[in-house]
Amino acid sequence: MSEKVLKLTIPKGSLQEDIASFFERAGLKLKLVSKRDYRPSVGDPEIYIKLLRPQEIPNYLIGENEFDLGISGIDWVKETKADVEVLLDLEIGAVSIVLCAPNNWENIYNLDDILQKFYNDNKVLRISTEYLTLSVNYLKENKTYKKLYGDIIPLVITPWRIWGENEKVKIFLSFGATEAKPPEEVDVIIDNTSTGTTIKANNLKIVEIIDTSTAVLIANKNALKDDWKQEKIKDILVLLKGVIEARKKLHIFMNVREENLNKILLELPALKRPTISKLAGSEGWYAINTIIKKDEFLGLIPILRKYAQGLVVHEPRQILPLEDVR
């Protein structure tokens, strides 16, 4: 192992495959000895990597001897209230944090309806979730909850601690398979979902979308104060940013007759100014080489079809924003 090492932790589980693909495009291919291996390598002796659950990662980036860099969902950064620096939204691993109730509940359209129903029926509302902080805040900020219970904190129940005073609304910490808890153990759940398939398979329906989340690159604030680690983090940051930029861009090449050159250039958007060069051995012909936004490409087809020849389109692996990460 190198004398100087940057410690990076990435998520084990549902995000792992997305992160591995993302890192490979960034030139940081993760290599695991086996499926049970928790310490992949990327061919850089200055980077030490360990796989952890995304829920745990933010809190392992606090302190001088902890991890320097990590990837987790922004939902877990908020949930843990971890004092970390969010460096980059990776724009992958998108999920919604949702309130779900049984399919057969009628006339239930939001949290207000649920709270009022259980209050009128004099029943205890039981909620299962991994998001304790989010759930407490979500309930306390609800207008119906305030009307019925004031500022009383819902009763939060975990194996090691119970807190809160409102015994009419109980939040149970879930350790997974949250969607399987209703209707026996609890009445409703607060969980994350990317497609909603598992929720539907367990006879639940989404009542409200509470928040959304994507994977983010986060840094230990102490690591950012270390000159060597700060530079190493910038190296990784520019590689990852390059993947995000490339996903939104296309690299196009075309041949154009001299009399059509200005007509093309007037219509052609570009990341920077396009590169223009004369075609060797072809009098009156030019080559144009440029980067455009992917969502602009279809709108360019009419002008390209009219004036260009030999169009080639590439999806770049990376476009490194070097000037952004000096």
For the structural domain made of 6-93+215-246, what CATH number should be given?
Answer: 3.40.190.10
| DSSP result, 213-265 | E-EEEEE-TTGGGSHHHHHHHHHHHHHHHHHHHHHTEEEEEEEEEGGGHHHHH
Alpha helices per DSSP H over the chain: 16-25, 74-80, 111-120, 132-140, 143-149, 197-201, 227-247, 261-267, 297-307
Q: How far apart are CA 14 and CA 57, in angstroms?
A: 14
Hey, what amino acid is at 110? N
Q: Which two tokens stand for residue 287?
A: 């080559």
- What lies within 8 Å, CB to CB, of 306 at 6+ separation is none
Fold matches, 6-93+215-246 and 249-325 = no
pLDDT band at 294 (very low <50, low <70, confident <90, very high): very high
In this predicted structure, the answer to whether residue 269 has a pLDDT above a threshold of 80 is no
Residue 34 confidence (pLDDT)? 77
Right CATH number for 249-325 from 3.30.360.10, 3.20.20.70, 3.30.70.120, 3.40.630.10? 3.30.70.120
Comparing 14-18, 90-94, 164-168, which segment has the lowest mean pLDDT? 14-18
Prediction pTM value: 0.89
Residue 268 confidence (pLDDT)? 83
Q: Tell me how far the alpha carbon of residue 194 is from its chain's centroid.
A: 11
In this predicted structure, the answer to whether residue 267 has a pLDDT above a threshold of 70 is yes
CATH superfamily of 96-212: Periplasmic binding protein-like II (3.40.190.10)
Mean predicted lDDT score pLDDT of the chain? 93
pLDDT band at 24 (very low <50, low <70, confident <90, very high): very high
In this predicted structure, the answer to whether residue 209 has a pLDDT above a threshold of 80 is yes
Q: How far apart are CA 133 and CA 81, in angstroms?
A: 9
Tens-place pLDDT, residues 237-261: 999 999 999 999 999 999 999 999 9
pLDDT band at 63 (very low <50, low <70, confident <90, very high): confident
Residue 2 confidence (pLDDT)? 52
Tens-place pLDDT, residues 216-232: 999 999 999 999 999 99
Average confidence (pLDDT) over 303-316: 90
Average confidence (pLDDT) over 74-83: 97
Q: Which two tokens stand for residue 281?
A: 């051995």
Residue boundaries of the structural domains of the chain: 6-93+215-246, 96-212, 249-325
Among 26, 38, 237, 196, smallest CA distance to 103 is for 196
Q: How far apart are CA 292 and CA 297, in angstroms?
A: 7
Q: How far apart are CA 55 and CA 59, in angstroms?
A: 9
In the chain, % of residues over pLDDT 70? 98
3-state secondary structure of 93: coil
Rounded to a whole number of angstroms, the distance between the first and last alpha carbons of the chain is 27
pLDDT band at 325 (very low <50, low <70, confident <90, very high): low
In this predicted structure, the answer to whether residue 270 has a pLDDT above a threshold of 80 is no
Residue 281 confidence (pLDDT)? 79
Q: Which two tokens stand for residue 79?
A: 């949930």
Q: How far apart are CA 207 and CA 82, in angstroms?
A: 29
In the chain, % of residues over pLDDT 90? 82
Q: How many CB atoms lie within 10 A of CB 301?
A: 10
